[in-house]
Structure 1
Amino acid sequence: MTIHDIQEEIVDEFSMFDDWMQRYEYIIELGKSLPLIEEQFKTDENIIKGCQSKVWVHAEEKQGKIWFTADSDAILTKGIIAILIRAFSGQEAKAILEANTDFIDAIGLKEHLSPTRANGLVSMIKQIKMYALAFETKNQ
């Protein structure tokens, strides 16, 4: 599946919920299914700067695709990073770099987060794109 296809799937899933309490619960559930980062990668180097809670993201390249694992010490944040990892993990660096993140606005996530969490969300997206850029540059 392309990043766009996955993003559309996420938007469809969120449209099934009537209110934001249900959506928050769903985000928390998504966090429970997150492919967890190995303890050895829970380092300061992998912490997302600009997040209110601790969020670690690790990226590996396998056969031309980037695979992300992550964890957070906050349940809602764990769900947010799970959404991003679902959208971007297993994709080529170029596709990640070219992908837009309009689906975040389409599900209304940014507007329903506190300002500090919204900033953290932006920081998570930037870090995922930075990993993609690093792998893209390395492979040129």
Structure 2
Amino acid sequence: MSLPADAQQALDTFTQAKGWEQRARLLMQIGDRLEPLHESDKTDANRVHGCESLVWLVAGQVDGQWRFKATSDARLLRGLLALLLVRVQGLDSDALDGLDLREWFTQLGLERQLSPSRSNGLHAVLLRMTELVSSP
């Protein structure tokens, strides 16, 4: 399956990075470029539970494709969310359901930075995305 253009660009950037320090810097830069959420979106209903940090997720459809916005109070997590978002934008619920998060972060060279709690948190975000696109 081919990657969305933004995901391919992120993959190219991260695979060219030399070592964790460079990847961490890239992670923070991409996180800083996340589209900010309005304060009105930072509600309990939009909060992703199962994350140690505060994470908010909103979803909407544009021309039949799902678009997500997310943010976190943790800078490194914002970067991981940004990488998740570039991978899932425009996917339908079946594709979202079948997405292998660990494989995506392994391709990016970030699997070792996914502590069990971060990994669980990202899975909680993906699960919430699947719930949002499946609900009537």
TM over 0.5: yes
The equivalent residue for 1:129 is 130
**If the length of structure 2 is used for normalisation, what is the TM-score?**
0.84
Q: Does 1:106 align with 2:98?
A: no
Q: Which segments of structure 1 move beyond 6 Å, counting only runs of 4 or more?
A: none
CA contact (8 A) 2:14 2:109 kept: no
Q: Secondary structure at the match of 1:69?
A: strand
**If the length of structure 1 is used for normalisation, what is the TM-score?**
0.82
Counterpart Cα distance in 1 of 2:111 and 2:25: 16
The equivalent residue for 2:75 is 75
CA contact (8 A) 1:53 1:72 kept: yes
Counterpart Cα distance in 1 of 2:9 and 2:75: 22
Which runs of 5 or more residues in structure 2 are unaligned?
none
Counterpart Cα distance in 1 of 2:11 and 2:98: 19
The equivalent residue for 1:44 is 44
Q: Count residues with an aligned counterpart.
A: 134
Which runs of 5 or more residues in structure 1 are unaligned?
none
CA contact (8 A) 1:97 1:132 kept: no
Cα RMSD after superposing both structures:
2.1
Give the letter aligned to residue 52 of structure 1.
Answer: E
**Deviates further, 100-109 or 46-55:** 100-109
Percent of residue pairs bearing the same amino acid type: 29
Counterpart Cα distance in 2 of 1:27 and 1:41: 24
CA contact (8 A) 1:3 1:99 kept: no
